[in-house]
Amino acid sequence: MAATCGRSVIHVEHIRKSYGTLRAVDEISLDVYEGEIFGLIGPNGAGKTTTMECVEGIRTPDSGTITVLGLDPFRDVYQLQERIGVQLQQAQLQKRIKVWEAVHLWASLYKRKTASGEQLLEQLGLADKRDAWFMTLSGGQKQRLFIALALINDPEVVFLDELTTGLDPQARRAIWDLVRGIRDRGKTVFMTTHLMEEAERLCDRVAIIERGRIIDVDTPERLVVKNCPQRTVVLATDDSGAAEAFGRIPRLDSVTRADARFMLHGSGEEFVTDVIQCLSDNHVRVTDFRTVLPTLEDVFLKLTGHSIRE
Amino acid sequence: MPLSTRGLFALTWLETKIFLREPLGAIGSMVVPVLAFLVLGRALPRTVPLTATPYAGLLAPGGVPVLVSILIANSAVLSLVAIISIYREGGILKRLRATPLRPPTILTAHVLVKLLLTAVTMALMTLVGRRYFSPGVDVPVISFAIALLIGTWSILSIGFVIASIVPTARFAQPIGAFILYPMIGLSGLFAPLSAFPPALRTVARLLPMTYVVSLLGGIWRGEGWLAHLGDIGALVVAFVVCTALSSRVFRWE
Ligand SMILES: Nc1ncnc2c1ncn2[C@@H]1O[C@H](COP(=O)(O)OP(=O)(O)OP(=O)(O)O)[C@@H](O)[C@H]1O
Ligand SMILES: [Mg+2]
C-alpha cells in the first residue's frame, strides 16, 4: 500500500465549479499519489462526479488548477486521454454496437500499445457476450463493458465513477479484485462510491465530500480511529453478578441489556481489553462474545450529521 | 482544432454498420426517396420542352430527379440531426470524447456515413430510373452524383447547427423538418425565384438549398461545372459559416 509515500499524480488546487447559482464544487483541493486507490465518498449531489470530470478534462472548473501526470487536463487533453482510462457514471454506447466492436474501436483509438481486448472481456465475464448488441446487455454487463473500455489502453491512472453501481455482490467482488490488481501493477485509481463498504475494503485513502467541500481525507482506518473512538462489546451471560461487575469497567459509557444479552458501550482502543479483563477477574461465563467496531458509515454520520443514504 | 484521422475510418465504418442494423432508418432514408422518384416520375408529364422552362422547375426536364435528390439530401440531414441528438442525450458523445478522439473526428465520421448513404441511394435511384423511367436525354449521372454529394455535404453543416440547438432528441426531427422544408419551398424548385416578391427573393438567395437546386438542375441539363462555380462557391461559404457557427454553439452533453 502506497498511502502517502508516492509521487503525486493528481494535484487539485482550490477548484470551483458552479451551475447557475448552485456551487457544485466549492474550493476543493486534493492529491492522489502514485499506486494508491483513492476514493471520493459522499451523498448524491455532493460534487463527486463534477470534481472527477474536471480532473478527466471533460469539464472545465471555473477557477483553480489541476495537474494530472504533469499535464493540464484542459490544455493537454489529448495527451492526457492517451494515458488515462475513464469510466463515466452515466454513459451509453450506440444501441446496436456489438461488445467486441466497442472494444476494438477503443483499442484503435490509442497510440500506445493497448491491453488485449479479448482477455479483458474474459476477465470481466463478458466473453460469451462479445457478439451481443449493447442494448441487449443487462445493467451490470454494460457496467463491466465500460470498465473494460476504461482499461483498454493500459492506463496509468484509472477513473472509476460509481464503478459497482448495479452489480450483484459476486460481480462486485470480482470488480474489487480487478481494481486491486490494477493498483498492484503500480497504476493509480481515482474512484467515487457511495458504498461505505466498498470504500472501506478497496480504498487506500478516502476523501469525504459534502456540498462541494472536502470534510476530511485519510485512510479508512485512521478516519474511524480519529472520528469514532467508541467500541461496543456484545455478550451473553447468565451470571447474576455480571451487571454489577461491568459497572467497574473503566471508560465504560453505557450498558444496554435485553435478558441475558448485554451491550457494553465504551471508548478508546483499550476498551475491549478492559472488558475481557473484567470477565476474567470476575469469572463470568459467557455464551457469546463479539465486538462491534465503528465503520466509515459511522464516521460519515458523525462528520455530516446524517447518513449517506438520506 | 486539427482533424485527426486516427479512428476516423474505424468509426465511420462502425457507424455505417450500426446504421444499417436499424432496418426502419435504413429503409426510410434509402427506399422512400427512390419510391417517390418512381411515383412522381410516372405521374408528371414529361412533354415540356427544354427551352420552354427558364428555370429548373418541377415540370422541367430533371425537375423530378432534382426534387428527389433534394429529398435524399434532406433525409440525410434529418437523420444526422436525430443521431447527434440521441447520442448527446444518451451520453454517447460524452463517452467518445473521453478518449483521444478529437471532436471534429467524431462529427466527420457521421458526415461520411451520411454522404455514403446519399451516394448509395443515388445509385439505387439511377438503377431503378434507368429501368422504369428513362429520363429521355443523356444525363451526366456521375457529375450529377458529385453535385449531389457537394450539396449534401454543405447542408449537413446546417444539420450540425440544428443539432446544436435542439433541446432533446424528441424534438430533433420536427425542428429539423421545420427548418429544412421551407428552405426547399423557397429553393426555386416549385416556382422561379423571379416570381417571388423581392424580400422573399433575398431570403431565398441566402439559403444554401437554392444553390443546391440550381447546381443539380444545371448539371442535369448538361451545363458545365464552370457555369455553376457561383453555386459551388455559395455552398462552400454556407459550409464554412455553419461549421464555424456550430463549433461555437455545439453542446456535447
Ligand atoms: N450539467 C449540470 N448542470 C446543472 N447542474 C449540474 C450539472 N451536473 C451536476 N449538477 C449539479 O451539481 C451538483 C453536483 O453533482 P454531481 O454529479 O457532481 O454529484 P455527485 O456527487 O456525483 O452525485 P451522485 O452521487 O448522485 O452521483 C448536483 O446538485 C447536480 O444537480
Ligand atoms: Mg456522481
Q: Which three cell numbers stand for residue B9?
A: 475510418
Judged by its nearest atom, the ligand closest to the C-alpha of residue A194 is 1
Residue from A23, A50, A310 whose mutation best tests the ligand 1 pocket (most atoms within 8 A of CB):
A50
ipTM computed for the complex: 0.84
Of A141, A147, A151, A186, the C-alpha closest to A163 is A147
- Give the C-alpha separation, A134 to A155, whole Å: 24
Residue corresponding to grid cell 459497572: A247
- Give the C-alpha separation, B68 to B44, whole Å: 13
What is the mean pLDDT of the segment spanning B140-168? 91
Q: A149 and A114, same structural domain?
A: yes
> Is the distance from the beta carbon of residue A212 to the nearest atom of ligand 1 less than 6 Å?
no
Of A253, A251, A255, the C-alpha closest to A242 is A255
Assess whether pLDDT exceeds 90 at residue B28.
no
Q: Is residue A203 part of a domain?
A: yes
CB A87 within 8 A of CB A111: no
- Give the C-alpha separation, A161 to A55, whole Å: 12
Question: Residue B80's pLDDT is what?
Answer: 92
Q: A217 and A234, same structural domain?
A: no
Q: A113 and A200, same structural domain?
A: yes
Q: Is residue A272 part of a domain?
A: yes
CB A134 within 8 A of CB A169: no
Q: A276 and A144, same structural domain?
A: no
- In angstroms, what separates the C-alpha of B186 from chain A's closest C-alpha? 36
Helix (H, G, I), strand (E, B) or coil at B18: helix
* Phi, psi dihedrals of residue B64, rounded to the nearest 5°: -65, -50
Question: Residue B235's pLDDT is what?
Answer: 97
Task: Give, in order, the Cα–Cα distances in Å from B185 to each of A219, B152, B192, B231.
Answer: 68, 17, 11, 18
Assess whether pLDDT exceeds 60 at residue B34.
yes
Maximum alpha-carbon separation in chain A: 75
> Is the distance from the beta carbon of residue A83 to the nearest atom of ligand 1 less than 6 Å?
no
Question: Residue A308's pLDDT is what?
Answer: 67
Contact B14 A105 (CB under 8 A): yes
Q: A196 and A58, same structural domain?
A: yes
Assess whether pLDDT exceeds 60 at residue B41.
yes
Q: Is residue A197 part of a domain?
A: yes
Question: Residue B49's pLDDT is what?
Answer: 45
Number of domains in chain A: 2
For residue B50, name the pLDDT band (cuts at 50, 70, 90): very low
From chain A, pick out residues whose CB is under 8 angstroms from the CB of B12. Answer: none
For residue B51, name the pLDDT band (cuts at 50, 70, 90): very low
Question: Residue B24's pLDDT is what?
Answer: 81
Q: Does A254 touch chain B (CB under 8 A)?
A: no
Judged by its nearest atom, the ligand closest to the C-alpha of residue A88 is 2
From chain B, pick out residues whose CB is under 8 angstroms from the CB of A101. Answer: 14, 17
Q: What is the CATH number of the domain that holds A249?
A: 3.30.70.980
Residue whose CA is at the smallest distance from ligand 1 atom 24: A44
Question: Residue A170's pLDDT is what?
Answer: 87
Question: Residue B54's pLDDT is what?
Answer: 47
DSSP A98: B
For residue B44, name the pLDDT band (cuts at 50, 70, 90): low
Q: A233 and A213, same structural domain?
A: no
State which residues of chain A have pLDDT below 50: 1-3
Q: A273 and A142, same structural domain?
A: no
Q: A83 and A56, same structural domain?
A: yes
Of B142, B143, B141, the C-alpha closest to B129 is B141
Return the ∠ at Cα A37 (arms to A33 and A39), rounded to 5°: 105
Ligand 2: centre distance to CA A197 (Å): 17
Ligand 1: centre distance to CA A48 (Å): 8
Residue corresponding to grid cell 463479539: A290
Angle, nearest 10°, between helix axes B169-185 and B63-89? 160
DSSP A95: T
Contact A94 B87 (CB under 8 A): yes
CB A16 within 8 A of CB A62: yes
Q: A239 and A97, same structural domain?
A: no
Q: A24 and A109, same structural domain?
A: yes
Of A83, A105, A84, the C-alpha closest to A94 is A105
CB A7 within 8 A of CB A34: yes
Question: Which letter, b or e, does each residue of A112-125 get, where b requires 16 or more Cβ atoms within 10 Å of its Cβ?
Answer: eebbebeebbebbe
Q: Is residue A302 part of a domain?
A: no
Q: Is residue A300 part of a domain?
A: no
Domain that holds residue A71: 8-221
- In angstroms, what separates the C-alpha of A207 from chain B's closest C-alpha? 24
Task: Cite the DSSP H helix spans in chain A.
Answer: 48-56, 77-83, 99-109, 117-123, 139-151, 169-184, 196-202, 220-227, 242-246, 271-281, 296-304
**In this predicted structure, which of A168-177, B33-42, B221-230 has the lowest mean pLDDT?**
B33-42
From chain A, pick out residues whose CB is under 8 angstroms from the CB of B97. Answer: 58
Domain end, chosen from A201, A221, A241, is at A221
From chain A, pick out residues whose CB is under 8 angstroms from the CB of B21. Answer: 96, 133
Q: Is residue A259 part of a domain?
A: yes
> Is the distance from the beta carbon of residue A144 to the nearest atom of ligand 1 less than 6 Å?
no
Q: Is residue A309 part of a domain?
A: no
